[in-house]
Amino acid sequence: MAGVEHRNRFYLREAEQEFRQSLAADSGLGMAWLGLATVGYMQGSEPGARKNIHNALNLTGHANRREQFAIRMWAHRINFHLDEARATAESLAAEYPDEVCAYQFLGELASITKNQELSLKWFERAIAADSTFALSVMSLGYAYSNMGEQDNAIAAMERYIRLEPDAADPRASLADLFVRVGRYDEALELYRASLERKPDYWYAFQEIGQVYMWLGRLKAAEEQARRSAELVSGSPENSVPFLAFLTNTAVMRGNFEEAVELSRKALAKDSTVGRAAFQLAFALAKTGRFTAAHEVIRHLRSELEMRNLQESSGMAQFHLLRARVLTLEGEYEGALAACDSALGLSAYIDRPEIYRNLAEIRQRMGDTEGALDACSEALSSNPRQPFALLTLTRIYHKRNDTAMTAEVGNRLLQLWSGADADFSPLQELRRLLGQKPPTRSGS
């Protein structure tokens, strides 16, 4: 089915069109309903995914045995019955050892529950069954990266490019790895190379926007995110991911009231969007509304528990959010405990951000040495991570170490050389360095 090929290349709009065309010809095709459900799941649209997988389940009586396994395992996953999803996929793999999609599915499940070693095993099993199955080669690259094995990760992504030389995603995936280690210019070149192969590849626009945001180029970031939303949904104004992105840029401008409004607007459209809820809790805390922030946090916990994600990287992000809110509230011991919980649930690749927050907490507590140690950990995998460098600048500034404040701060100024004037981290950095804000031309 052409829709499956498009989906495996992450050409989601084309995949959806193919599945819908198949259903227009025959609405009894359970695998086409499954295809629509998986596309919706990949887009983060839980309500649509659930509706379509329900339609697929109603048609399993007309499907062959392999297809029945596939529909049931995805139904369990979309409804967050992860143990049942795993058992069904294992049964599929046992009965049909050549079914690479079962191994891929099991690898993805293992990654969700932070078992990177197990995910690696399943992706390797898929490649052993079919060495040309590009999706598992890509996933192998991310699994290695999640474990901190960046050389192996890059080698896998380069193999992915060789398997799909004309596709857009392989170069975008390699770019993702470069972003993780601070090779931003090379990453942007690869995202653009991805767009040369498919000028409307939504993911490349989305990730270029993300890099631009970290580099302080907020207007350009929003333009890229808008283009991505247009390609996925056709209507950025009604796109929940786009609203969530605007919430991020509002925070980067220090416009926390706007961030509250945008995140609430996104959640009104889809209450399952975790990223918008995270930003809502943080923005509420930044404006001193801690009771409301903790209410959002309680809701997030119940959502994660309902989805059986208590041992997932999502729960690690939940504890990190708790740490940020508690830090702003001045509850430093609780914030430290929340960071410890986050570290216990995180993959290697997610730990630098947790250590950065530990550094912020230690600095506020007056533990400069502890803050420096945590900052060193935060910069270990990516020595050019902008916000970790900003934290390090704050620490040296608080120590009255003007030489190191200038050294680290100037490195960061180079990274943010193209940043917008209203990028609030840059404004803070200039204050730390004793620089006056730039004046308007002619003033």
Predicted pLDDT at 46: 82
Domain boundaries, given as residue ranges, for the chain: 1-96, 384-443
C-beta of residue 283 within 8 angstroms of C-beta of residue 275 = no
Indicate the Cα dihedral angle 375, 245, 141, 373, nearest 10°: 0
**What is the predicted pLDDT for the residue at 434?**
93
Spatial separation of the C-alpha atoms in residues 33 and 44, rounded to whole Å: 17
Distance CA 172, CA 168 (A): 7
Identify the pLDDT of residue 438.
Answer: 67
Greatest CA separation for the chain: 75
pLDDT at 216: 98
The predicted pLDDT at position 441 comes to 45
- The answer to whether 244 touches 213, Cβ cutoff 8 Å, is no
Distance separating alpha carbons of residues 330 and 324, to the nearest angstrom? 10
pLDDT at 356: 97
Fold classification of 1-96 is 1.25.40
* 256 within 8 A of 286, measured Cβ to Cβ: yes
Q: What is the rounded distance in angstroms from the CA atom of residue 108 to the CA atom of residue 118?
A: 10
Q: pLDDT, tens digit, for every residue of 6-24?
A: 999 999 999 999 999 999 9
CA distances from 14 to 231, 356, 398 (A): 10, 40, 53
Cβ count near 87 (within 10 Å): 14
Locate tokens 């504890």: which residue?
319
What global pTM score does this model have?
0.93
Distance in angstroms (rounded) separating the CA atoms of residues 349 and 148: 6
Residue from 399, 396, 424 nearest 410 by CA: 396
pLDDT under 50: residue ranges of the chain: 441-443
Q: How many residues does the chain have?
A: 443
- Token readout for 48 is 């649509």
**Nearest-angstrom CA–CA distance, 385 and 387:** 6
